[in-house]
Structure 1
Amino acid sequence: MEHIETGLGTKQAPSDEVDLKALFIYLWNKKFIIAFITMLFAVTSVVVALNLPNIYQAEALLAPAEDEQNGGLASLAGQFGGLANLAGISVGGSGNKEVKLALEVLKSRQFSSQFIQKHDVLKELMATESWDLTTNTLLFDPTIYNQTTGEWVREVTLPFKPKPSMQEAHEKYLEKVVIEEDQETGMIKLAVLHHSPYVAKQWVDWLIDDINLVMKARDVAEANKSAEFLTQQISKTDVFDIKSVLYKLLEEQAKTIMFANVREEYIFKTVDPAVVPEKKAKPRRGLICIVGTALGMFVSIFFVSLGYLFRN
């Protein structure tokens, strides 16, 4: 303790240090308050954990499909790459790029909008509240969607409407669809989180089918467009060597179209298909209770300690 010399004698200056022993004794004396607040947080966390609906995750393991139709084009890339690019044809080493493109398409607004509208799953995406295990039925939030009348009843302000827009749906879609790519093996995990394990499994199957169809349609459309260009160029030139090259490129486009039409798993092959999950993925109720109780103890000790500091 620091001493200060004054005209009236020696006086002790107040100390900024906290007496830890006195603080511990003070906390011990307030143990019932600490225990009450901790118990309040613990009970609240238990109630919250028990009222959270189960979320199930269905997942499938995918492998990039072999880019067999690109082999012929790759062999022409060295000599005729410039001419092929002029025709809008991608040559050589495009397999990995196609997979990357397909993954980005899966996350896109356009794909999610087409998926939601095609399968009519907007209410399952935006308004689901829980799932009844005994009857295998979805329960919808009555403040968002009226299941009896089939009307959207949520209260929102402009520019939003009671029925969610595709932009809102896209944000929710990204929360429920999980895409993970293993950089070492190239394998891709496609998963869906939902209140219903059956809905989660069905959506995974639909997503795989739809992305294969979309990528197939894109490649076929590009091949048809390139074939039209090549056909026009063939009719315009009389040089035999150029015609020969153009015929080879045209042949490769015909192979691309034929290959796309005969293979269902066009861009992704299913290594391990999705199944209806038996166990929930979340919430982790035990962890919620532990964290809630620990938080209650910390908060109670913190505020009781503040009371001690202000008092002294």
Structure 2
Amino acid sequence: MPNTISEKDADFIHQTSVNSDEIDLRELFSVLWAGKVVIIAITFLFAVGAVGLALWMPNIYKSEATLAPAEESQGGGLSALAGQFGGLASLAGVNLGKGNTDKTGLAIEVLKSRKFTSDFIANHRILPVLMAVKKWDSSSNKISFDSDIYNSEENTWVREVKPPKAPEPSMQEAYKEFSKILSVSEDKDSGLVTIAVEHKSPYVAKQWVEWLINDINQVMKERDVEEAKRSTVYLEKQIEQTNVADIRSVLYKLVEEQAKTIMFAEVRNEYIFKTIDPAVVPEEKFKPKRALICVLGTFLGGMLAVFIVLVRYFLRK
């Protein structure tokens, strides 16, 4: 015959469980109250440390610009030629391709590349301002350098590092540091591109954004012009070697498209990106969020203190 629990016994077990929970909660609060001094002390130390850290961290300013992709210089013409004379052009060994390439995506990848960044740092001579700035004085608009890294009076690097690193930072180190402060994003819906730079000096951040826009336009322009010139030389050789009238017609049209590309590049400074919203000198800092750091530091200290009190109590028990 199976064992059954009467209703009275069930009520007793339930009441005992409730009382046990109440006892556990009372015990928990009593333990925390007994360790209130430890909790307050640890929380206070973490709060002071968080405030000190927040005040020690320098202000970082962020300047950004919004850009729109410029019109394709030769996409329409090459696309039309590809549809009309693609077969004939292939007989001459010329691949028209799709014509309308994603130059915006290519420009963004070039902008973030190691080669472009290294050339940008070298051409504008910004290595000390990138790697050795200590703080920025808002009243005089001057930046000071860390004397343990760079001697600004003698323009020499004095940092102490172990081989293979040298006192003067390499372009690999500079690229890693520059990648941390540069952000490039593209809105897939609107096609707009945002370029932003973070720095301790708001004026430096604005200047670098402007330089980046000018340089990427210039680099992409030079790439297309050089490619168009090489293509023109090749096409002219193909014209001399063929006697087929239709193929010569296609090649002449291709030469014309390359000439349009060169002309388009020469007359436009904003070759790849047109500035919609230019960079400005930010008046407010971007980071650190000092209030948030203080709140999180205090909260972390309180949680750690409660954990220490509970662990110590149960270990003793």
Pair 1:49 & 2:54 matched: yes
Match of 1:282 in 2: 287
Contact 2:72–2:100 (Cα < 8 Å) also in 1: no
Pair 1:133 & 2:142 matched: no
Pair 1:235 & 2:240 matched: yes
Q: Distance in 2 between matches of 1:311 and 1:20?
A: 18
Q: Distance in 1 between matches of 2:305 and 2:175?
A: 42
User: Shift of the alpha carbon at 1:195?
Assistant: 0.3
- Choose the corresponding residue for 1:191, options 185, 193, 196: 196
Q: Distance in 2 between matches of 1:193 and 1:58?
A: 7
Report sequence identity in percent: 55
User: Shift of the alpha carbon at 1:93?
Assistant: 2.6
Match of 2:129 in 1: 124
Q: CA RMSD in A?
A: 1.6
Q: 3-state SS of the aligned residue for 2:130?
A: helix
TM-score for the superposition, normalised by structure 2: 0.89
Quickly say closer, same or farther: Cα 1:290–1:212, change in 2 above 3 A: same
Q: Deviations over 1:99-147 (max 9, x none)?
A: 1110000110100000000000001111112111111111112221112
Q: Distance in 1 between matches of 2:83 and 2:274?
A: 30
Q: Deviations over 1:187-222 (max 9, x none)?
A: 011000000000000000000000000000000011
Pair 1:311 & 2:305 matched: no
Q: Deviations over 1:235-264 (max 9, x none)?
A: 111111111110000000000000000000
Q: Which stretch shifts more, 35-44 or 140-149?
A: 140-149
Letter in 1 for 2:31: Y
Pair 1:107 & 2:112 matched: yes
Query: Aligned ranges for residues 166-181 of structure 1 at < 5 Å?
Result: 166-181=171-186
Q: Which runs of 5 or more residues in structure 2 are unaligned?
A: 1-20
Contact 2:82–2:96 (Cα < 8 Å) also in 1: no
Quickly say closer, same or farther: Cα 1:136–1:103, change in 2 above 3 A: same
Q: Distance in 1 between matches of 2:85 and 2:297?
A: 66
Contact 1:81–1:91 (Cα < 8 Å) also in 2: no
Q: Distance in 2 between matches of 1:229 and 1:87?
A: 9
User: Shift of the alpha carbon at 1:91?
Assistant: 3.9
- Choose the corresponding residue for 1:209, options 206, 214, 230: 214
Q: Distance in 2 between matches of 1:52 and 1:306?
A: 34
Pair 1:165 & 2:160 matched: no
Match of 2:301 in 1: 296
Letter in 1 for 2:308: F
Quickly say closer, same or farther: Cα 1:222–1:184, change in 2 above 3 A: same
Q: Which stretch shifts more, 81-90 or 127-136?
A: 81-90
Contact 1:180–1:190 (Cα < 8 Å) also in 2: yes
Match of 2:158 in 1: 153
Q: 3-state SS of the aligned residue for 1:186?
A: coil
User: Shift of the alpha carbon at 1:88?
Assistant: 6.2
User: Shift of the alpha carbon at 1:148?
Assistant: 2.1
Letter in 2 for 1:32: V
Q: Distance in 2 between matches of 1:86 and 1:287?
A: 64
Match of 2:99 in 1: 92
Match of 1:35 in 2: 40
Match of 2:66 in 1: 61
- Choose the corresponding residue for 2:270, options 265, 270, 273: 265
- Choose the corresponding residue for 1:249, options 254, 261, 275: 254
Q: Distance in 2 between matches of 1:105 and 1:125?
A: 20
Letter in 2 for 1:93: N
Q: 3-state SS of the aligned residue for 1:54?
A: coil
